Amino acid sequence: MQDVFWPGVAAVFAMYGLVFLVGVLAGRGRSESKGQDEVSEMLLAGRSLPLWVGLLTMTATWVGGGYINGTAEYTYSAGLLWGAQAGVGYALSLILGGLFFARRMRAMNYTTLVDPLESRYGKGVAATLMVPAVLAETFWSAAILVALGTTFDAVIGLENLTVAILVSATVAIAYTVGGGLRAVAYTDVIQLFLILVGLGLALPFVIDAAGGAAVLMQPAADGVDPLAWFGSMRETVAYSDFFILLMLGGIPWNVYFQRVLSARTPEHARYLSLAAGVLCALMAIPPILFGLAARHIDWVALGATTAGMALGGPDVITANLAENPAFVMPYTLRLAVPLWISVLGLGAIAAAVMSSVDSSILSASSLVAWNGYRRLINPAATAEQVTKMVRILVVALGSFATVVALKVQSVAALWYLCGDVVYTVLFPQLTLALFDSKANRSGALAGLAVSVFMRLGGGDGTLGLPAFLPYPDWQPTGDFPFRTLAMLCGLLTAIVVSRLTAASDPAKPLAPLEG
């Protein structure tokens, strides 16, 4: 049983207090007094965020505690090529979103990701496509809470994960209910600042603990010869599948479009997304260096120090790293840097992870309140009623994500499955809704059915579903790119069926939604 690291506990809750304070103060700066619609203020910050806040909250779409920890984890466990994949993939998703999607969406004055789907395919299809989007956002929140609770246990020594998860979720829900996207955006600014300061101060000490910068530059730091690695067709195909999933599958998320649609003008939406893509890629550099350094750190020696013994000693630390490489960032911050920087770094990462929860909860609540309640169930709902519904849903979905985090062990795997569905189902449907003037309801339904069938045909260990389609070179780990194949087949099916049924099911023009 490890000792409680009380300086770390104090730092985490101090950071929580800072984030909460910023969220509350930002919420009080709402633009309702300027005549802005109350729903627009809650969901889109009145489309009036300052440019610098818009840029940083757009960057924080993907750069959060999970992004930082995950990049360090994969760099440590699988090498530079896999470690850099998320940073480059998500950066390209922001750039592609800026080039092709952001300006068009903002020019139509849409409120959510689902609005163009409703305009093109009707309310029923839009409501169906809303389901995977909401589930993915909700399970992502739960996965973040699970990771945060595990970090509290492994590094700070708080074995009661329930308390850690409940406190984290309560803080995020509280200021999101009061301030909506404006509060979330300003806490994103604090999140990025804390990450930069915490990791920036720690990085020189971490590199020194690994033996210096020269060691990190050696090919052995990666553990992979890129030419030989890409000479393996199986590895190349697997890598490409996940890379394309990150790049294209990172676009059709409401958490991204909520920021796009909060921009003041269509041009701002485009340029903010492009600039955020560059910042997203740059923000991957510190955790990549952490992961590379961790491959050379003598964990046995660090485990024998006073701080290491408080974590259980060398055997426990090395065993934990081998079993769960996600511990590499918190362990490195706890053991390889001076105490005061360790405290700041751990607090910053924890606050960043917690701050990521608010975005997904608000995004999911916005979809249900706007496209479910306002557009489908109660079209006559007033702005006050919709805003009240958003607040209720923030509490409800936030509580649901918290319960899932406490009860379901495989929540991360559930999120990955939802991410697959977002990529295979939503990306082709959103793309056609925005850019194919002949896309219709029949094509959307046919494409949806094909995408889901082919994705499930690859099987899923989380749900206990065996593969039932004879994909080539099938392996349990999934080397064949069936996700991308499912997306492409759904896309082509929707295109073909839309044209075959043009006479009986005329395509609707893409247009702004009324009300």
Q: How many residues in total does the chain contain?
A: 515
Residue 229 has pLDDT above 50, yes or no: no
Residue 326 has pLDDT above 90, yes or no: no
Query: Which band of pLDDT confidence, cut at 50, 70 and 90, is reported for residue 234?
Result: low
Query: Which band of pLDDT confidence, cut at 50, 70 and 90, is reported for residue 511?
Result: very high
Please, are residues 181 and 359 in contact by the beta-carbon 8 Å criterion? no
| Span of 160-164, 241-245, 429-433, 450-454 with lowest mean pLDDT | 160-164
Choose between 407 and 3: higher pLDDT: 407
Please, are residues 159 and 453 in contact by the beta-carbon 8 Å criterion? no
Which pLDDT value is given to residue 476?
47
Query: Which band of pLDDT confidence, cut at 50, 70 and 90, is reported for residue 465?
Result: confident
User: What kind and span of H or E run contains 234?
Assistant: helix 233-249
First to last CA, the chain: 58
Query: pLDDT (tens digit, 9 = 90+) per residue, 492-510?
Result: 999 999 999 999 999 999 9
- Range 6-500 has CATH code 3.40.50.720: no
Residue 183: closest CA among 12, 49, 16: 49
Which pLDDT value is given to residue 221?
47
| Span of 151-155, 205-209, 419-423 with lowest mean pLDDT | 151-155
Which pLDDT value is given to residue 34?
42
Query: Which band of pLDDT confidence, cut at 50, 70 and 90, is reported for residue 473?
Result: low
| CA dist list (Å): 454 to 181, 464, 486 | 36, 16, 5
Query: pLDDT (tens digit, 9 = 90+) per residue, 132-168?
Result: 999 999 988 888 887 777 666 666 666 667 777 888 8
Q: Which residue has the tokens 């955020």?
A: 276
| Span of 227-241, 289-303, 328-342 with lowest mean pLDDT | 227-241
Q: Tell me the C-alpha distance between 328 and 76, whole Å.
A: 7
Tell me phi and psi for residue 460, to 5 degrees: -155, 120
Report the 3 state secondary structure along 94-137. Answer: HHHHHHHHHHHHHHCCCCCCCHHHHHHHCHHHHHHHHHHHHHHH
Q: pLDDT over 70 for what percent of the chain?
A: 89
Mean pLDDT within 104-112: 96
Which pLDDT value is given to residue 414?
72
| CA dist list (Å): 139 to 310, 360, 404, 414 | 33, 9, 8, 7
Query: 466: buried, middle or exposed (CB in 10 Å: 19+, 13-18, 0-12)?
Result: exposed
Which pLDDT value is given to residue 157?
64
Which pLDDT value is given to residue 227?
43
Which pLDDT value is given to residue 239?
79
Query: Which band of pLDDT confidence, cut at 50, 70 and 90, is reported for residue 178?
Result: confident
State both tokens at 415: 């999120």
Query: pLDDT (tens digit, 9 = 90+) per residue, 238-283?
Result: 778 888 999 999 999 999 999 999 999 999 999 999 999 999 999 9
Query: Which band of pLDDT confidence, cut at 50, 70 and 90, is reported for residue 340?
Result: confident
Query: pLDDT (tens digit, 9 = 90+) per residue, 279-317?
Result: 999 999 999 999 999 999 999 999 999 888 888 899 989
Query: pLDDT (tens digit, 9 = 90+) per residue, 179-201?
Result: 899 999 999 999 899 888 989 99
Q: Tell me the C-alpha distance between 301 and 280, whole Å.
A: 34
Query: pLDDT (tens digit, 9 = 90+) per residue, 25-55?
Result: 887 766 543 434 889 999 999 998 899 999 9
Mean pLDDT within 63-90: 86
Which pLDDT value is given to residue 6?
78
3-state DSSP helix/strand/coil percent for the chain, to nearest 5?
75, 0, 25
Residue 225 has pLDDT above 70, yes or no: no
The structural domains of the chain, with segments of one domain joined by +, span 6-500
Q: pLDDT over 90 for what percent of the chain?
A: 52
Residue 435: closest CA among 509, 367, 514, 513: 509
State both tokens at 28: 């009080």
Question: How much is the mean pLDDT over the chain?
Answer: 86
Name the pTM for this structure.
Answer: 0.92
Please, are residues 292 and 84 in contact by the beta-carbon 8 Å criterion? no
Q: Tell me the C-alpha distance between 180 and 421, whole Å.
A: 27
Please, are residues 191 and 32 in contact by the beta-carbon 8 Å criterion? no
